[in-house]
């Protein structure tokens, strides 16, 4: 047996601490069956003497070797497989135990192992190395390729079709009532019409009801109201933002080099439009993963599908990374992680360094997927300069697709200047290479020559990037091109090695890119050599029998409407996540979702028309005593409005809201490369919020969010976020009291009520109606009258101060 020369004899011995310690005197029992033999004579040795240095529990893997699972033992460590079932002489574990090689023996010091112990391992290996810890050594026993016990987890089993158990209410109510009755509970009474209308408006559009909507609403017209809200443009804005949370949308890279993404807004607009048009969810997913590979009937459709692939390009990237292999692996890892968490509520990326510790995802599965994404040309549109080591092109959209172009044209003279700059830089680089030999000429100063060569190389490298980047955005005449972030298939697809411990410098076997054989689902077969496999993966993910895709999405929708998911851990459907509170309801909704043509609007309509959704939010001591977390849905929980809804509602009630879509984004209009430079631009408001449009159009720079978004628990844009945190902290109150934005809205609200009402009492009444959709009650009216009568109140600002108090109140921030 040979080893790389870099290993010392001691290091070689330490590669396989297979059986460490004095094991003299242990006896062998061969008259028992193979499973008992493993449990009696193999596992105790491994546990007692090997796991300390070679197990996940110890956190150690000397020589890259784990011995606490069957798969890891077969895979082995840095020197190869530890076991070859049926062949002891080819099994490095057995070879090390025999100590025939003085540079490769276990234990590395001390007496040799007892012959009986070695004989036990020899017999075990020769008879097939049965290892019941992980199944038969020849491979998994289930055609899905996962461990049989993993298939027992509820979310990996096929969806079942539940049957309603009562005739009262909708099928949704039937499932909920059955769970409540089992615990001796009943649902709460229906909310009053105004509460229900506010809930519907905030949930479906993200805006408060207008006085006209309040006047027109009644419970017998609720279906008509719901349909009108679903059809409104505001629905696409509200629910598009939910999806942008999930896909970690942002307009800058974040991390060390927070480079701005000036073309990310196209994906934002694609999402809003797709949600508003109720694009079937399965098609929605396929376009985002493989839109570039789909046929298109016309140029606008082709452009839309290309823009959809921005999902793959939006993630944060290590742009400071200098090793291209590491960068490519990290980009693929981020894409796998986003895909797994967003679509499947699964942490697939955990299998990059080892087989998943709780889910049925193996390293070989991970690297089969990695080959798909490494065979993808991810175009994120940043250019090399002094702050960025990684450049990326952009996807060109059809010129006749009618796409908005934000960037300014360049004059022919500017084009010529840039071309000359590029030619000169290339010539300087060639000259520099020719002069490198002079550094070693007799009498020269090698260090000085080296330093000058490095400075010149960096000057060329950093100067050329922005020129190349700019020329990519224009045609030969200087006319700006329609471009977007996105993905295309690489010119030459590849297979990925499996990297031990996820380290680039430890490649092992090459894994053919493929659809992992999870859940026993069929796929389209082998991926053609000329294709990345993204389209095949997209079809597999949207297969109707896939146990996760529909379940995960309906749970996200339920969570947004009911305050919590049927599965509380909306981004984790694995064994470490929560179990569903109503499993039959979850599967019924998933099947209903698919049968409706994957219609998001149809599913939302079903939920909001149910009696479960229409319950009052009143707290009940009897129900709380049985179900304090409201997992059985005995009431609708009162919820604080999201950050965007708070901001947009302020604009709505003040009469200032501009409902039109914002053309492009602030990110596309800046002449700076990094978000860190925003503070030095005096033309941009300090909190980035100079807009009167919906909050979805505010710039989303990683680590530089608008104040109101960051303070009120906006989703972290580098992470998949299915459910936001909700906090109640002093900085929120301080913002509402001192923010220029809030003060401006209060001023506009005061001006509005002054225009709409002639007297102070009428103005107060109108302010309450606009903010809370109701007049003040007697206690509130008394407090307001006392406030305006107080001598210390300034007449000039009293009404503005009063309006700001309403905007800052808890009632304004609570839907119910």
User: pLDDT tens digit string along 544-600?
Assistant: 999 999 999 999 999 999 999 999 999 999 999 999 999 999 999 999 999 999 999
More confident residue, 139 or 414: 414
Q: Give the integer Cα–Cα distance in Å for 269 and 697.
A: 9
Q: Give the integer Cα–Cα distance in Å for 40 and 34.
A: 10
Locate tokens 């952009």: which residue? Answer: 394
More confident residue, 783 or 684: 783
**Share of residues in the chain with pLDDT > 70 (%):** 88
Which of the given ranges, 51-55, 247-251, 468-472, has the highest pLDDT on average? 247-251
Residues 120 and 265 in one domain: no
The predicted structure's pLDDT at residue 392: 86
The predicted structure's pLDDT at residue 663: 93
The predicted structure's pLDDT at residue 171: 93
* Cα–Cα distance list, 290 to 297, 305, 527 (Å): 16, 8, 14
Locate tokens 């539940």: which residue? Answer: 162
Any domain includes 211: yes
What is the token pair recorded at 89? 């002489």
Any domain includes 145: no
Least reliable range by pLDDT among 21-30, 99-108, 303-312, 652-661: 21-30
Residues 383 and 317 in one domain: yes
Nearest of 559, 635, 557, 636 to residue 598 by alpha carbon: 557
Over the stretch 78-101, which tens digit does the pLDDT of each residue have? 677 788 888 888 888 888 888 877
* Cα–Cα distance list, 176 to 160, 167, 170 (Å): 17, 13, 10
Q: Give the integer Cα–Cα distance in Å for 17 and 38.
A: 19
Of 588, 617, 638, which residue sits at a domain end? 638
Residues 552 and 535 in one domain: no
CB contact at 8 A, 328 and 546: no
Burial 292-309 (b: 16+ CB within 10 A, else e): bbbebeeeeebbbbbbbb
The predicted structure's pLDDT at residue 161: 76
- What is the SS3 assignment for 773? coil
Over the stretch 739-776, which tens digit does the pLDDT of each residue have? 999 999 999 999 999 999 999 999 999 999 999 999 99
The predicted structure's pLDDT at residue 278: 98
pLDDT band at 133 (very low <50, low <70, confident <90, very high): low
What is the token pair recorded at 209? 């009801």
The predicted structure's pLDDT at residue 87: 81
pLDDT at 277 over 60: yes
* Cα–Cα distance list, 792 to 6, 124, 413, 795, 797 (Å): 83, 91, 66, 9, 11
The predicted structure's pLDDT at residue 5: 34
Nearest of 243, 249, 274 to residue 343 by alpha carbon: 243
Distance of CA 531 to the CA centre of its chain: 25
Any domain includes 711: no
Nearest of 211, 178, 357, 325 to residue 774 by alpha carbon: 211
Locate tokens 């100067």: which residue? Answer: 463
The predicted structure's pLDDT at residue 294: 97
Residues 29 and 106 in one domain: yes
pLDDT band at 165 (very low <50, low <70, confident <90, very high): low
Least reliable range by pLDDT among 222-231, 349-358, 609-618: 349-358
- What is the SS3 assignment for 292? helix
Any domain includes 691: no
The predicted structure's pLDDT at residue 150: 55
pLDDT band at 440 (very low <50, low <70, confident <90, very high): low
CB contact at 8 A, 702 and 709: no
Residues 451 and 552 in one domain: no
The predicted structure's pLDDT at residue 1: 32
Any domain includes 464: yes
Residues 6 or more apart whose CB falls under 8 angstroms from that of 509 comprise 497, 498
Q: Give the integer Cα–Cα distance in Å for 122 and 109.
A: 22
Nearest of 632, 628, 650 to residue 748 by alpha carbon: 650
CB contact at 8 A, 114 and 21: no
Any domain includes 248: no
- Phi, psi angles (nearest 5°) of residue 484: -150, 160
Residues 561 and 416 in one domain: no
Q: Which helix (H) or strand (E) holds 179?
A: helix 171-182
pLDDT at 673 over 60: yes
Mean pLDDT of 350-374: 92
CB contact at 8 A, 289 and 342: no
Residues 6 or more apart whose CB falls under 8 angstroms from that of 59 comprise none
Distance of CA 283 to the CA centre of its chain: 19
Any domain includes 352: yes
**Share of residues in the chain with pLDDT > 90 (%):** 64
Locate tokens 């460590």: which residue? Answer: 77
Q: Give the integer Cα–Cα distance in Å for 293 and 312.
A: 14
Mean pLDDT of 499-509: 92
pLDDT band at 612 (very low <50, low <70, confident <90, very high): very high
pLDDT band at 26 (very low <50, low <70, confident <90, very high): very low
Helices 549-562, 324-344: axis angle to 10 degrees equals: 70
- Phi, psi angles (nearest 5°) of residue 505: -85, 15
Q: Which helix (H) or strand (E) holds 55?
A: strand 54-55
Residues 527 and 569 in one domain: no
Helices 730-738, 740-756: axis angle to 10 degrees equals: 50
Over the stretch 698-739, which tens digit does the pLDDT of each residue have? 999 999 999 999 999 999 999 999 999 999 999 999 999 999
Nearest of 698, 699, 717, 705 to residue 648 by alpha carbon: 698
Q: How does the average pLDDT of the chain come out, rounded?
A: 87
CB contact at 8 A, 478 and 414: yes
Over the stretch 522-538, which tens digit does the pLDDT of each residue have? 888 889 999 999 999 99
More confident residue, 347 or 81: 347
Residues 373 and 458 in one domain: no
Q: Which residues pair with 377 in a beta bridge?
A: 488
Mean pLDDT of 630-637: 96
CB contact at 8 A, 350 and 361: yes
Residues 460 and 603 in one domain: no
Any domain includes 531: yes
More confident residue, 159 or 50: 159
Q: Which domain holds residue 391?
A: 260-398+488-541
> Does pTM surpass 0.75?
yes
Q: Give the integer Cα–Cα distance in Å for 290 and 493.
A: 15
Residues 390 and 522 in one domain: yes
Q: Which helix (H) or strand (E) holds 61?
A: strand 60-61
What stretches of 432-530 adopt beta strand conformation (E)? 483-484, 486-489, 496-499, 507-511
The predicted structure's pLDDT at residue 608: 97
* Cα–Cα distance list, 797 to 493, 498, 737, 793, 812 (Å): 67, 68, 14, 8, 21
Q: What is the largest CA-CA distance in the chain?
A: 103
Over the stretch 190-234, which tens digit does the pLDDT of each residue have? 999 999 999 999 999 999 999 999 999 999 999 999 999 999 999
- Phi, psi angles (nearest 5°) of residue 141: -85, -10
Number of domains making up the chain: 5
Strands 60-61 and 54-55: antiparallel
* Cα–Cα distance list, 319 to 254, 316, 386, 434, 461 (Å): 9, 9, 11, 30, 15
Nearest of 206, 336, 310, 303 to residue 249 by alpha carbon: 310
Least reliable range by pLDDT among 147-161, 356-370, 643-657, 798-812: 147-161
Q: Which residues pair with 55 in a beta bridge?
A: 60
pLDDT at 3 over 80: no
Residues 389 and 511 in one domain: yes
Residues 158 and 43 in one domain: no
What is the token pair recorded at 420? 């000359």
pLDDT at 689 over 90: no
- Phi, psi angles (nearest 5°) of residue 60: -120, 145
Of 523, 541, 559, which residue sits at a domain end? 541
Of 453, 478, 503, which residue sits at a domain end? 478
């Amino acid at each position: 047996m040979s080893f790389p020369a870099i290993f010392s004899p001691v290091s070689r011995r330490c590669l396989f601490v297979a059986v460490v310690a004095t094991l003299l005197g242990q006896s062998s029992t061969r008259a028992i069956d193979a499973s008992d033999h493993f449990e009696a004579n193999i596992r105790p040795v491994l546990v007692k003497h090997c796991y300390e240095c070679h197990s996940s529990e110890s956190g150690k893997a000397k020589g890259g070797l784990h011995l606490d699972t069957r798969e890891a033992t077969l895979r082995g460590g840095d020197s190869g497989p530890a076991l070859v079932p049926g062949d002891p002489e080819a099994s490095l574990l057995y070879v090390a135990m025999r100590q025939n090689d003085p540079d490769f023996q276990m234990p590395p010091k001390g007496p040799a192992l007892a012959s009986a112990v070695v004989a036990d391992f020899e017999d075990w290996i020769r008879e097939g190395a049965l290892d019941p810890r992980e199944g038969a050594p020849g491979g998994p026993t289930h055609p899905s390729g996962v461990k049989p016990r993993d298939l027992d987890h509820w979310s990996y089993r096929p969806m079942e079709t539940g049957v309603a158990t009562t005739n009262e209410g909708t099928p949704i109510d039937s499932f909920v009532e059955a769970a409540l009755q089992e615990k001796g509970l009943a649902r709460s009474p229906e909310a009053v019409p105004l509460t229900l209308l506010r809930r519907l408006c905030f949930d479906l559009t993200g805006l408060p009801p207008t006085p006209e909507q309040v006047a027109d609403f009644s419970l017998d017209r609720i279906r008509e109201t719901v349909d009108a809200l679903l059809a409104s443009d505001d629905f696409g804005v509200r629910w598009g933002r939910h999806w942008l949370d999930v896909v970690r949308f942002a307009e800058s890279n974040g991390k060390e080099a927070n480079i701005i993404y000036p073309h990310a807004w196209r994906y934002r607009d694609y999402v809003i439009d797709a949600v508003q048009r109720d694009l079937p969810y399965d098609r929605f997913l396929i376009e985002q993963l493989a839109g570039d590979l789909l046929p298109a009937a016309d140029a606008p459709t082709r452009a839309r599908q290309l823009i959809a692939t921005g999902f793959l390009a939006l993630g944060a990237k290590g742009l400071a990374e200098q090793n291209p292999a590491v960068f490519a692996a990290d980009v693929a890892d981020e894409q796998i992680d986003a895909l797994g968490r967003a679509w499947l509520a699964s942490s697939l990326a955990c299998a990059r360094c080892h087989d998943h510790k709780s889910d049925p995802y193996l390293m070989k599965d991970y690297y089969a997927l990695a080959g798909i994404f490494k065979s993808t040309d991810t175009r994120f549109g940043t250019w090399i300069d002094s702050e960025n080591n990684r450049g990326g092109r952009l996807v060109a959209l059809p010129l006749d697709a009618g796409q908005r172009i934000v960037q300014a044209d360049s004059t022919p003279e500017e084009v010529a200047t840039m071309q000359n700059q590029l030619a000169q830089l290339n010539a300087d680089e060639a000259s520099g290479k020719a002069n490198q030999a002079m550094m070693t000429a007799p009498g020269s100063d090698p260090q000085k020559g080296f330093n000058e060569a490095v400075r010149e190389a960096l000057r060329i490298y950093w100067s050329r990037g922005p020129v190349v980047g700019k020329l990519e955005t224009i045609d030969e005449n200087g006319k700006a091109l329609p471009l977007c972030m996105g993905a295309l298939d690489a010119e030459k697809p590849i297979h990925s090695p499996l990297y031990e411990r996820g380290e680039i410098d430890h490649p092992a076997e090459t894994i053919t890119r493929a659809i992992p054989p999870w859940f026993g689902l069929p796929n389209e077969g082998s991926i053609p050599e000329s294709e990345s496999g993204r389209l095949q993966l997209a079809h597999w993910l949207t297969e109707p029998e896939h146990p996760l895709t529909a379940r995960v999405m309906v749970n996200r929708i339920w969570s947004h409407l009911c305050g919590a998911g049927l599965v509380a851990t909306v981004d984790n459907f694995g064994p470490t996540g929560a179990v569903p509170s109503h499993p039959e309801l979850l599967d019924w909704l998933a099947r209903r979702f698919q049968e409706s043509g994957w219609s998001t609007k149809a599913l939302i309509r079903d939920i909001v028309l149910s009696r479960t959704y229409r319950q009052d939010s009143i707290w009940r001591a009897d129900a709380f005593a049985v179900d304090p977390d409201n997992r059985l849905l005995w009431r609708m929980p009162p919820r604080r409005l999201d950050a965007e809804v708070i901001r947009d509602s302020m604009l709505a009630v003040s009469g200032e809201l501009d409902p039109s879509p914002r053309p492009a984004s602030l990110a596309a209009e800046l002449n700076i490369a990094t978000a860190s430079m925003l503070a030095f631009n005096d033309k941009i408001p300090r909190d980035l919020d100079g807009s009167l449009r919906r909050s979805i159009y505010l710039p989303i720079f990683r680590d530089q969010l608008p104040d109101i978004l960051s303070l009120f628990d906006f989703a972290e844009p580098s992470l998949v976020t299915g459910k936001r945190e909700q906090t109640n902290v002093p900085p929120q109150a301080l913002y509402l009291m001192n923010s220029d934005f809030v003060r401006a809205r209060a001023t506009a609200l005061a001006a509005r009520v002054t225009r709409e009402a002639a007297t102070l009492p009428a103005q107060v009444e109108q302010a309450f109606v606009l903010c809370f959709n109701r007049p003040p009650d007697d206690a509130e009216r008394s407090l307001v009258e006392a406030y305006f009568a107080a001598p210390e109140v300034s007449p000039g600002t009293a009404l503005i101060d009063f309006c700001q108090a309403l905007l800052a109140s808890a009632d304004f921030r609570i839907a119910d």
